[in-house]
Structure 1
Amino acid sequence: MSAKDRIAVFPSRMAQTIMKARLKGAQKGHSLLKKKSDALQMRFRMILKKIVDTKSLMGDVMKEASFSLAEAKFTSGDFNAIVLQNVTKAQIKVKCKKDNVAGVTLPVFESYQDGSDVHELAGLARGGQQLAKLKKSYARAIQLLVDLASLQTSFITLDEVIKITNRRVNALEHVVIPKIENTLMYIISELDEMEREEFFRLKKIQEKKKKIKAAEEQLKQTRRAMGIDVDNDGPNLFAEQHDEDLLF
């Protein structure tokens, strides 16, 4: 494991605790982003299906509206000039609402009629039925156009958000989490190595103390054999002594 595959930290218990917290946060974030991506993709597929159905229906509605226009012109004559003279403002307007999907705001367009129909008396002389059918057909076509615009806007917005979310999920899954896990493995291995070195050092110290004590005992036995009193010698300042705890 190279240094590029892990975070540059000093191996310690505190660093291990911090890395464990970071790993838990990264895994939680990955889980939440994965759920968000799944929810967005589900809504994305549903919108895509609606777009296909709406476009298919739009062709039939526009075809019906074109035939209605031809019938109205055949029965009532050319009424374009009359319509243009009576038009002063838009009767059908569009308002925008917001829809929240997994934290993503999607625009929703809705059409509504502002005021009364200024052409409600059109066709009294002749062709009234064809004109009513014409207005109904084109009102339906406008409604479908507004719905289609809302669906396509949501489609584009979701497409961008899904790409960003998937990049974050992949970054957490393939870069951040493996790097933190490698760092944890490095810290644990270094701490284990430090514990083994400490154990080996303590073992060596104990062996050295045993050798020193055995040499002192051998020296005392040799001095006793020579008739030297070793029990009345002064205290050895270098010898290991145990001091009793003092209670105040």
Structure 2
Amino acid sequence: MAKTQVNPTRMELTRLKKKLVTATRGHKLLKDKRDELMRQFLELVRENKTLRETVEAGIAAANKNFVLARAGMDDEVLNVAMMAPMQEVYLEASERNVMSVEIPVFEYKTRSGDENNIYSYGFAFTSSDLDGAIKSLSDILPDLLRLAEVEKSCQLMAAEIEKTRRRVNALEHVVIPELRENIKYITMKLDENERSTQIRLMKVKDMMLEEAHHYKEHTGQAYTQS
């Protein structure tokens, strides 16, 4: 029995068959989209793991050098050395479409193209540990931005995968079975109505033949009496 109330007509049957074809095609497309999203998501997760290990190691090295620099320098000298940075970083954020998911793309550029133009102090009164700390932070900046980009992309793709998975499950376990059940119900009803119509026609035909037979018998008896 159909779960939803449907009219057992040929027009409704044709409409449901077209809807079933569309649902089946949509189900296949969504499954392909889900599988491709999962593939790219897993690639990003692996990249995210590698980047996070690299960034955490770089930050740990920078913190270690900062601690050593602070231990070997006066606070006033350290504060003066870090007061006026020489380099500036400009970040540009854009988006790119991956399987209908808008993931971020970060691009950066510096005010000066010289990689050594990152030290805002002279080397006479500062510790080499401070140089190492600043160099470590400068080196991990590209990986840090890429890590932020990848992590946000993973979040967005995970949400899209979950949404797509729910749609696939809804089509696979609810919509398509219900459509097939309704089509089966209408087909059975139409077949039943057709059989009933044939039976009625056969009965009408039998009645007409019987009436014609009685009419011939009655006419023959009338001719005999005359």
Q: TM-score range by the shorter chain?
A: 0.7 to 0.9
> Secondary structure at the residue paired with 2:38?
helix
Percentage of identical aligned residues: 28
Instruction: Give distance in 2, aligned partners of 1:87 and 1:210.
Output: 111
Q: Which amino acid aligns with 1:63?
A: A
Of the candidates 14, 36, 40, which is equivalent to residue 39 of structure 1? 36
Shift of 1:71: 6.5
Shift of 1:91: 1.3
Q: Which amino acid aligns with 1:191?
A: L
Q: Say what the alpha-carbon RMSD is for the aligned residues.
A: 2.6
Shift of 1:110: 3.1
- Are the counterparts in 2 of residues 109 and 147 from structure 1 also a CA contact under 8 Å? yes
Instruction: Give distance in 2, aligned partners of 1:97 and 1:104.
Output: 13
Residue 172 (structure 1) aligns with: 171
Shift of 1:169: 0.8
Residue 85 (structure 1) aligns with: 83
Shift of 1:77: 6.7
- Are the counterparts in 2 of residues 76 and 123 from structure 1 also a CA contact under 8 Å? no
User: Which string of whole-angstrom CA distances, capped at 9 and with x for unpartnered residues, describes residues 115-139 of structure 1?
Assistant: 5776557344366976654433211
> Secondary structure at the residue paired with 1:85?
coil
Instruction: Give distance in 2, aligned partners of 1:183 and 1:114.
Output: 67
In structure 2, the CA distance between the partners of 1:140 and 1:115, relative to structure 1 (3 Å rule), is same
Instruction: Give distance in 2, aligned partners of 1:111 and 1:68.
Output: 26
> Secondary structure at the residue paired with 2:107?
strand
Instruction: Give distance in 2, aligned partners of 1:211 and 1:160.
Output: 74
In structure 2, the CA distance between the partners of 1:185 and 1:119, relative to structure 1 (3 Å rule), is closer
Residue 151 (structure 1) aligns with: 150
Q: Is the aligned partner of 1:8 residue 2:2?
A: no
Aligned residue pairs: how many?
A: 223
> Secondary structure at the residue paired with 2:106?
strand
Shift of 1:76: 7.5
| Structure showing greater relative contact order (alpha-carbon pairs closer than 8 Å, 6 or more residues apart) | 2
Structure 1 length-normalised TM: 0.78
Unaligned ranges ≥5, structure 2: none
Q: Is the aligned partner of 1:200 residue 2:199?
A: yes
Q: Is the aligned partner of 1:108 residue 2:105?
A: yes
Structure 2 length-normalised TM: 0.85
Map residues 32-71 of structure 1 onto 2, 5 A cutoff: 32-69=29-66
Shift of 1:156: 1.2
Map residues 224-239 of structure 1 onto 2, 5 A cutoff: 224-226=223-225, 228=226
- Are the counterparts in 2 of residues 123 and 131 from structure 1 also a CA contact under 8 Å? no
Shift of 1:53: 0.9
Of the candidates 89, 94, 114, which is equivalent to residue 91 of structure 2? 94
Q: Which has the larger radius of gyration?
A: 1
Q: Which amino acid aligns with 2:201?
A: L
Instruction: Give distance in 2, aligned partners of 1:141 and 1:21.
Output: 56
